[in-house]
Structure 1
Amino acid sequence: MLFEIPKDITDYLSELDDFIEREIKPLERVDDNIRFFDHRREWARTDWDNDGLPRHDWEELLSHMRRIADAAGHYRFALPSEYGGKDGSHLAMACIREHLAAKGLGLHNDLQNESSIVGNLVQPLMVRDFGTETQKAEYIPAMLEGRMRWTFGLTEEHHGSDATWMDTRAVRETRDGVDGWLINGNKMWTTGSHVATHCMVFARHSGKDGDARGIGCFLVPQDSPGFEVGEYLWTFNMPTDHPKVSLTNVWIPGDMVLGDAEMGLACAQHFVHENRIRQAASSLGAAQYCINEAVKYARERTPFGKPLAVNQAIQFPLVELHTEAAMLRQLIYATSAKMDTMPKPEIAKRLSDVISMCNYRANRLVCDAADRAMQVHGGIGYSRHKPFEHIYRHHRRYRITEGAEEIQMRKVAGHLFGFMGRD
């Protein structure tokens, strides 16, 4: 039996469609803003003479879009009503992410920047769940108003997937009668550092390498003495906002720690399942877009006097992709709906492996679908006049970020072979 999407969600998708046509598409078309989405997109977005950073006019357009979406009541959809949101469910967010990505490139949903008319706003919820009352009162409004922006400093140059091994160290130090922490180390892939105010720096202060305990989540102002933003790493999909960061004798007061200083990795894991299922939904939507466009072109293109679509060499690969998309859709929806029935600890215990299945398969699918769409379209598919190369370059990173697909598969295997116990 097919999973049925509740009517309130399908009605909301229609509401978003109307909003896009009425408010977002006109903005996309004025002042040659379409340059950010047509064949000029990488050039238009990238300041090649400034470390490959995003151009200011590109980021200002995204900010303008978010302000419009926020004023219309869409941007904070997933947040609790106490923060101006609509208490959006996991299922609703999965449906929205797929629906918007399936529309193709546009100002309504540009995943290169994780920017959308419906925001994936995880950091305010981190503060809600781990912050002190003072931190909640100060940080959450500042985040939602754009006055406070955090980067995520977990990965290091010499340490990747295993976050329990890191070179960055924190030691207690009192200055002028104020208890605090002195931090030394390095981070990389600290995305958004060019506009951030703070970096969530994960650093070990006790225990030994490999221990989950003894790592804190320290909120470091980026203007702190000794905090340096270094080389911006140019990537497969430009522009870049992913630099290396170094910390040399950086001191912060003791109240700039988020959550239990012994269990900082709990902050890092706080949103992993939500992000992975939503990312899977986005990849599914982009894959379906590529499949649909390839089918449409194959029906229209008539080499040798007949449509491409009559050739089984064209049909069968697209049938395989379309079938996998249909199966993934059911798993993603059913898993998202199940997530809505349990708290975070239960999700981590009972659904983590299924979420990983959704994530790594959907991220592979979109790469395969974009590649097949290029092949069906021929030369024009390889060009930047079609969006498939952009979709491929963007979604290819998801096979590495949010936990590499090998990490996801290892998690599935751990449950499958009994290495991870279940009640």
Structure 2
Amino acid sequence: MDFSIPTEIQTTLDDLDAFIESEILPLQHADDNMRFFDHRREWARTDFDHDGVPREEWEELLREMRRRADAAGWLRLALPEEFGGRAASNLEMAIIREHLAHRGLGLHNDLQNESSIVGNFPTVLMMRDFGTPAQIAEWMPGFLDGTRRLAFGLTEPNHGSDATYLETTAVKDGDEWIINGMKRWNTGVHHATHDIIFARTSGDDGSPVGITAFLVPLADPGFVVEHYWWTFNMPSDHGEVSLTDVRVGDDAVFGRVDHGLELAQHFVHENRIRQAASSLGAAQHCIDEAVAYANQRVTWGKKLSINQGIQFPLVELHTEAAMLRQLIRETAWRLDQQHHMEVTHQVAMCNYRANRLACDAADRAMQTCGGMGYSRHMPFEHIYRHHRRYRITEGAEEIQMRKVAQHLFGFGRK
């Protein structure tokens, strides 16, 4: 068995690095754009006077990065060829995501805003696989040029992981649906044109059947963003949304009536394995930075790294990263070969362990680097604050551990 990176993927990594050096780093260093990445980053990015959402200058810089990446053929790498992409495999995307995160903080890959020169585009694939021909014709160009932007309205004030207990309802009224309810953690709603609202249309609480997804325009007068939740990781674009007698037509139904949770599950495996790879890359970056600091820091006339109390915790993390790297790549490869439900437990393993590793590595790097590690002049607090949320979002680690347990113990099998 050959465990080395395939030649064609290594060529892609080299070309990505060359693009970053020639196009992205000069943009990052122009016009004091470094304020978004150095010790000023949280303040430079956050509009504290307007609900803590991202500043327009920050988002404009991200748009210019994406424009350059798209012009160079990188942004849509993972998309099918019919949408201007190269249909990159899950294995290729996992290796790329790890590589970009391993480079550290920068305009090339800033996951605080889920932004990268190699985009993810889950909504494009959702529309391709669940949209009607009319919806695809109307929506797909807007997804790709940025004129159509979707928020994601699944979580509610009283319901998170228990998504089959939604209190938001949609009732048929002639040719229209009337939607009433509340949604929480609507990421990206500050600049979205529409929100994917999941509402119960039939069935009983706890049933996965009976929930429908709707494409709801934010311009509807009954759609109100009540406020934004300020989080550990700022800026924050997570809105609290109320819907009062919002009326939409049948053309707003996204996917099959009563089977909306299919959409929520559709991209979760690809998304989780890429997230795991990014967390692994961020963890390895923290480990490498801590090792470099320990090798140059002199205390009591000797390098800090001579102390086994410094060495051993980083050895443990480095070893776990090496083992996790192989599991992530094998799982990504299996996703390319098998039905995604056959490897769902492995995806869960990768995701929850990698997200935890990123937090552990950032914490240990802070400890190794002492006061400097704790300061905002090093990247660890930023990495910790971002990756800590991954242990909750995209399925809390307890939910993912339960999925592994179901496979291990045979629970839930038919």
The TM-score with structure 2 as length reference comes to 0.99
Match of 2:193 among 194, 197, 203: 197
The aligned amino acid for 2:208 is A
Match of 1:419 among 402, 411, 414: 411
* 1:215 and 2:217 are equivalent in the alignment: no
Find the counterpart in structure 2 of residue 385 from structure 1.
377
Alpha-carbon RMSD across the aligned residues, in angstroms, is 0.8
SS in structure 2 of the partner of residue 209 of structure 1:
coil
Partners of 2:24 and 2:4 in 1: CA distance: 29
Please list the CA deviations of residues 113-149 of structure 1 after superposition, one character each: whole Å capped at 9, or x if unmatched. 0000000111011011011111111111111110100
Find the counterpart in structure 2 of residue 246 from structure 1.
242
Do the aligned partners of 1:215 and 1:262 also contact (CA within 8 Å) in 2? yes
SS in structure 2 of the partner of residue 151 of structure 1:
strand
Gaps of 5+ in 2: none
Taking the TM superposition and a 5 Å limit, the aligned residue runs for 1:271-420 are: 271-342=267-338, 346-348=339-341, 350-420=342-412
Find the counterpart in structure 1 of residue 177 from structure 2.
181
Deviation at 1:4, TM superposition (A): 2.2
Find the counterpart in structure 2 of residue 121 from structure 1.
121
Partners of 2:312 and 2:270 in 1: CA distance: 34
Query: Compared with structure 1, are the counterparts of its residues 100 and 27 closer, same or farther at alpha carbon in structure 2 (3 Å cutoff)?
Result: same
Partners of 1:331 and 1:271 in 2: CA distance: 20
Please list the CA deviations of residues 287-338 of structure 1 after superposition, one character each: whole Å capped at 9, or x if unmatched. 0000000011111111001111111000000000000000000000011011
Partners of 2:160 and 2:363 in 1: CA distance: 28
Do the aligned partners of 1:3 and 1:333 also contact (CA within 8 Å) in 2? no
Deviation at 1:97, TM superposition (A): 0.5
Partners of 2:121 and 2:49 in 1: CA distance: 31
SS in structure 1 of the partner of residue 140 of structure 2:
helix
SS in structure 1 of the partner of residue 186 of structure 2:
coil
Partners of 2:61 and 2:130 in 1: CA distance: 33
SS in structure 2 of the partner of residue 377 of structure 1:
helix
Deviation at 1:421, TM superposition (A): 2.5
Deviation at 1:53, TM superposition (A): 1.0
Gaps of 5+ in 1: none
Do the aligned partners of 1:38 and 1:385 also contact (CA within 8 Å) in 2? yes
Please list the CA deviations of residues 30-80 of structure 1 after superposition, one character each: whole Å capped at 9, or x if unmatched. 000000000000010011111111110000000000000000000000000
* 1:81 and 2:81 are equivalent in the alignment: yes
Find the counterpart in structure 2 of residue 103 from structure 1.
103
Partners of 2:413 and 2:320 in 1: CA distance: 30
Q: Which runs of 4+ in 1 moved over 2 A?
A: 1-4
The aligned amino acid for 2:86 is K
Partners of 1:421 and 1:194 in 2: CA distance: 41
The TM-score with structure 1 as length reference comes to 0.97
Partners of 2:313 and 2:170 in 1: CA distance: 53
